[in-house]
Structure 1
Amino acid sequence: MSNRPTPLAKADYEALSEFRYQLRRFLRFSEDAAQAEGLTPLQYQLLLHIKGYPGREWATVGELAQRLQTQQHGVVALVSRCEAAGLVERTASAADRRQVEVRLTPAGDTCLQRLAQLHHTELRSLTGGFQVANISAFNDRASS
């Protein structure tokens, strides 16, 4: 039995292309929406990852670095800019004083709510453009 992957069909390339196109459309929408709100795209993502962190309303710098797929020192600078803008606040962890918990301020929460609603609506409008059947066929072929 050969370990060579099954060659991709034209439909697979079309599905991947469509997926990348829809993903880029959404990301472009997100960038524009954040900038219209007076935020950078990274600031929006930071707010979203704080609010969306599983099980609690705060996140550590290390957790945010993981979510943003970046270095901790970059997240510290991003948090500092958001703190100066009144969007987040830092507090020392009660459980481990070496850790810093980053929370949204009421202004940050309000800003995030507006942007998240726009993103939610936009994402729903894009789901029809994703060729789920073709992508799942691609996944089936890739795993065999």
Structure 2
Amino acid sequence: MAQLGDWMETIPFPVLVTDPSGMIECSNAQFAKRFPSLTDKRNFRDLFNKWEEIGNHLLTVDFQGDLYLLLSHPITSQGKEMILYLVSDGSLVSHLQQKIAELDKLNRELDAIIENSYDAIYITDHNGTTLKTNSAIERITGIPKEYYYGKNTNI
């Protein structure tokens, strides 16, 4: 464990190692500085108000109102299976999630505007391939709007 601890001290981010059940095995000085109350042998998973998986080996956690991003990776040290967590400020993730939600809302509004237009709307990419049409094109041409999807207007 001493070699692992020495290696962890070379990492300029807070780092924590737990056993597979979440019991804290060791941490580096950066972790102890940011989370002074979390370095004893407790279950790491019980210390956070919120855990959310946002990808493979990627988590967001809430600690005392602050959001953190955790990158987890299974490791083996001296024949013992463990999990290494690299900790980073998660405020940017929260900001990005908020922006994604705003973009989703705007996209739904734009879809509703396009679909409810009386005029036919035909959207293509830079190559002329049809990406979207609205129901008015069916009314005008008599051809289902799905027919146009993926068709190229340059042919």
Q: TM-score, normalised by structure 2?
A: 0.28
Higher helix share: 1
Higher radius of gyration, 1 or 2? 2
Q: TM-score, normalised by structure 1?
A: 0.29
Greater RCO, CA 8 A, separation 6+? 1
